Amino acid sequence: MGDVSSQAAYLQDCYNREFEAVVEEANGKYIVLQKTFFYPDSGGQPYDTGMLMTEDGRMFKVIFVGKFGNNISHELDQEGLKPGDKVKGMVDWERRYAHMRMHTAIHILCAVINKISGAQITGNQIGVEKTRIDFSLDNFDREQIKRYEEETNRIINNAHDVEFKFMSREDALEIPSVVKLQMEFPKDVETIRLVDIVGFDVQACGGTHVKNTSEVRGIRVIKAENKGRNNRRIYFELAGE
């Protein structure tokens, strides 16, 4: 029996869209694989979708992926798999790559807002077409939002490499940028994965990202809202879509 960290092959390689795996558990339409490149709904990033194909050619749609207990569970469109079955996984790349670009864009925009305004990020929700972030700030105006967008696009166009690093919780929390989110890490997390936008920002994150900021291409802020005292929200989309 594995656990989330050992099953989550996407933590090391976000670009692998086809893989082979063995079914560890099966309960009707719900299965656990010994490893998976399907991202589960988590941290504001939606789940991946795609297909599983058996050795004899049977096809199963992956319609939802989530973390349940110590496992990553895949919901299929039908029953039929059993423990020990070998399958080929195929991730819906268009959906996944949009999420990767959006997620890296969030890290850049959040860091820009923090560096300019000192605001802490309080939440986010990634989408294929648009994404939102929430942050703690007394107020903002149109010029301030424009500055956030322009600086974010400057960083994107600077083509920073994006790297993953793994370190102990204790060491990770010594890095100032890692603790700028207004959220605590779960107490049971001992090893933290860091997303390093080289030369610009480091944040703890278990999501999928592009290898270089230039892949994001650019963002466009499409809406800004006041959501109550000290709570602001920005919606953005990927530019050039």
164 and 181 belong to one structural domain: yes
What is the distance between the alpha carbons of residues 51 and 19, in angstroms, rounded to a whole number? Answer: 11
Tell me which of 91, 112, 137 is where a domain ends: 91
20 and 119 belong to one structural domain: no
CATH number, residue 58: 2.40.30.130
Give the tens place of pLDDT for each residue, 139-176.
788 899 999 999 999 999 999 999 999 998 888 878 87
Amino acid 19 reads F
Full residue range of the structural domain in which residue 133 is found: 96-238
User: Taking the CA atoms of the chain, what radius of gyration do you get in angstroms?
Assistant: 19
CATH number, residue 146: 3.30.980.10
Strand pairing class (86-91; 121-125): unpaired
- pLDDT confidence tier of residue 191, bands split at 50, 70 and 90: confident
- pLDDT confidence tier of residue 182, bands split at 50, 70 and 90: very low
Tokens of 182: 């207004």
Alpha-carbon dihedral 188, 194, 200, 201, rounded to 10 degrees = -20
Q: At what angle do helices 142-157 and 93-117 cross, to 10 degrees?
A: 120
161 and 77 belong to one structural domain: no
With a pLDDT cut of 70, the percent of the chain lying above it is 93
> Does residue 3 surpass a pLDDT of 70?
no
Dihedral pair phi/psi, residue 159, rounded to 5°: 60, 55
> Does residue 229 surpass a pLDDT of 90?
no
Average pLDDT of the residues in 171-191: 68
> Does residue 1 surpass a pLDDT of 60?
no
Give the tens place of pLDDT for each residue, 35-59.
999 999 998 999 999 999 999 999 9
159 and 199 belong to one structural domain: yes
123 and 217 belong to one structural domain: yes
Tell me which residue of 9, 81, 12, 59 sits closest to 38, measured CA to CA: 9
Tell me which of 49, 73, 91 is where a domain ends: 91
Give the tens place of pLDDT for each residue, 100-119.
999 999 999 999 999 999 88
